[in-house]
Amino acid sequence: MTCRTSNCVRNSKKSPSYYKRAWRNGRGETGKLGADFTNLKVYGADKFKVKSIDLNLKDKLHLALDLHFDTMRIVTDYKIDGNILVLKLNGHGVMDANLTDISAHASTDAKQYEKNGKTHLGFINSDVNGLVIKKAHFQLDNIFGDNEQLNVQTNQVLNDSAEELIKELAPVITSVTRDIVFGIAEKTLQRYTFDELFPQ
């Protein structure tokens, strides 16, 4: 089964759509910048479009989705230590990230299970990869403490080369996308039996 329309599925909830008390990013994708995030709030991550669906029911229960998010906003307390571009960063404060035109590929295997004498479908081995963010703007408060001039200049440098910071945040954004997309899908599946979803 394949869906190729520009707006196959749209989901929407009240923001923030995702909250996580703490997230340790380790050394990020490049290994140059360590980051910890607390009180991670994500807005707009549940407002996504499914650009295409591929569902395999013959050989193995497998679902693949191409996703698109118009915008996503992340507001979080941060603590960072390391290098990015020519900057040596060691600070903490509030980060506000506005991301635009985001695409990703999601895939999962599925398994059948019995509930109240009925066969239902659940997900296993869910994954999100191929994350692409076309545009981003970051505001990191107090990255150099009370030195407002240096804070402004540093944010300007980071935004001029936003792709470097995107690389460091990719694990966080990928995890958020996976949790929300498959969380919504799992709740939807629980409402229906396998036969209701796929009548013979």
Encode pLDDT of 162-173 as tens digits.
Answer: 988 888 788 888
Whether this model's pTM surpasses 0.85: no
* Cα separation, 173 vs 18, whole angstroms: 11
Tell whether the model's pLDDT for residue 2 goes beyond 90: no
Residue range 2-197, CATH number: 3.15.10.30
What is the SS3 assignment for 23-75? EECCCCCCCCEEEEEEEEEEECCCCEEEEEEEEECCCCCEEEEEEEEEEEEEE
Q: Say what the pLDDT of residue 69 is.
A: 96
> Which has the minimum average pLDDT: 10-14, 24-28, 195-199?
10-14
Q: Place 5 in a pLDDT band, splitting at 50, 70 and 90.
A: very low
> How far apart, in whole angstroms, are the C-alpha atoms of residue 167 and residue 187?
31
Q: Which amino acid is at 80?
A: I
Q: How far apart are CA 39 and CA 94, in angstroms?
A: 10
Task: Give the pLDDT confidence of 119-139 residue by residue, as tens digits.
Answer: 988 999 999 999 999 999 999
Whether the pLDDT of residue 11 is over 50: the answer is no
